[in-house]
Amino acid sequence: MSISRRTTIVSASGLLGAVLLSACGKQTTDAASGASGSASASASPSASASASASPSEKLVAWTDNAAVSHLFFHSLVADPKRAFDGDSEAGGYLDYMVTIKEFKSVLQQVYDRNYVLVSPHQLYTATPDGGLTPKALDLPEGKKPLVISFDDLSYYEYMNGDGFADRLIVKDGKVVNEYHDASGKKLTGAYDHLPIVDEFVEQHPDFSHDGAKGVIALTGYNGILGYRTSDYSYKDENKNIEADKKKAKEVAEAIKKSGWEFASHSWGHINFTTSPLEHIREDNEKWQREVAPLIGKTDLLIYPFGADIAKVEDYAGAKFDYLKSQGFNAFFNVDGSTPAWGQLRPNYLREARINVDGISLKYALKGQQTALLEFFDPKAVLDPARPPSISGS
């Protein structure tokens, strides 16, 4: 099955007049025939994964849980020569991806600037009736909270052979990548953000607050985590689909145990701004049928393209009512104009994410986007393997 990539730039939520730049996978309009499901709050990261403060450190209460910075990334380029080779996909990779070298540089710089990883679930407590209350967030003195998330960790078919990791596996008790180099040799190790973050936190345990790592946003149409698990897409052609589902579920469990969390990114990477309610309902039913059983329930929804269901006004209306009825409590759009933006209301958390990619790096270097300067020096981050154009746009 061949599903091509759609590289779309969408101005979705209009937050603070920002231009929202984000695209990842194919946007599909398939109708669902499956039964609906529901989502509920997932567990917070295990406190045993790492600690953010020693007993002697002074803890200070963060004053506004709605104002927590959030950076997001797409899959990392492991081999720039293959990704940026000038073919039909190269422009999209330049626009929406960063290299392993760039990502590692970002991690080091945000750590050096006293940011510490937190989970969205460390910001609020959800009640069975759908209410939300702020949760006390006490950080070591001088530390600033940061959520990181990663979109489309499905290792889409269109990326095959272009210098990206193939999938996630569990090896020697750790989640790592399988990756084929340019010669076709299969390697295992840290070839994408998840194992890279795990290694960084092992070296710098104070970078994680009570075990928090990051949020992984999953679609479903190409399966998840590098396994072709979708019955809608692969039932007639993947003879190992049940084995793939079992393996993906095992990997997902290991991922959660290490402090990571999952979010819905819709099944077909749909646009929530323009999609009618019925399309959103059909897509969510697919996600609840095919993805939730493999990763567990989640109350986190990361909008594809950053395409929110409202602008800066509070949520209301049929789309929000439906999503709340499905158990979603936290919603994430895209806004690269400010280091932090959010709303924590009695029935939802809403948080803006800042895209870190070729487009945002290019705008930052031109002085047209300043939010990234809060977290790192874009010029110092830039990989020499990236072409002078930086982005493909």
Task: With 0.75 as the threshold, say if the pTM is over it.
Answer: yes
Q: What percent of the chain has pLDDT over 70?
A: 86
Q: DSSP letters of 278-292? A: HHHHHHHHHHHHHTH
Selected residue with higher pLDDT from 3 and 244: 244
pLDDT tens track for 120-131: 999 999 999 999
Domain-located, residue 26: yes
Mean pLDDT, rounded, for 193-216 = 98
For residue 46, pLDDT beyond 60: no
For residue 195, pLDDT beyond 50: yes
Mean per-residue pLDDT over the chain, rounded: 89
Confidence at 192, pLDDT banded by 50, 70, 90 = very high
Return the CA Rg of the chain. 19
Domain-located, residue 2: no
Tokens coding 333: 């759009």
CATH number of 220's domain? 3.20.20.370
Beta-ladder partners of 348: 345
Selected residue with higher pLDDT from 388 and 15: 388
Mean pLDDT, rounded, for 40-59 = 52
Total domains, the chain:
1
The domain in which residue 181 lies consists of 15-381
Domain-located, residue 123: yes
Distances in whole angstroms, Cα of residue 134 to Cα of each of 75, 187, 331:
32, 44, 15
pLDDT at 57: 81
Residue 145 dihedral angles phi and psi, to the nearest 5°: -75, 145
pLDDT tens track for 337-359: 999 999 999 999 999 999 999 99
CB 136: neighbour CB atoms within 10 A? 11
Confidence at 280, pLDDT banded by 50, 70, 90 = very high
By the 10 Å C-beta count (0-12 exposed, 13-18 middle, 19+ buried), 392 is classed as: buried
Mean pLDDT, rounded, for 88-114 = 98
Domain-located, residue 191: yes
pLDDT at 236: 92
pLDDT tens track for 60-99: 999 999 999 999 999 999 999 999 999 999 999 999 999 9
pLDDT at 300: 98
For residue 41, pLDDT beyond 90: no
For residue 38, pLDDT beyond 50: no
d(CA 194, CA 103): 11
pLDDT tens track for 207-250: 999 999 999 999 999 999 999 999 999 999 999 999 999 999 99
d(CA 362, CA 225): 29
Element housing 215 (H / E): strand 215-218
Domain-located, residue 389: no
CB 328: neighbour CB atoms within 10 A? 23
Domain-located, residue 183: yes
Domain-located, residue 1: no
Domain-located, residue 3: no
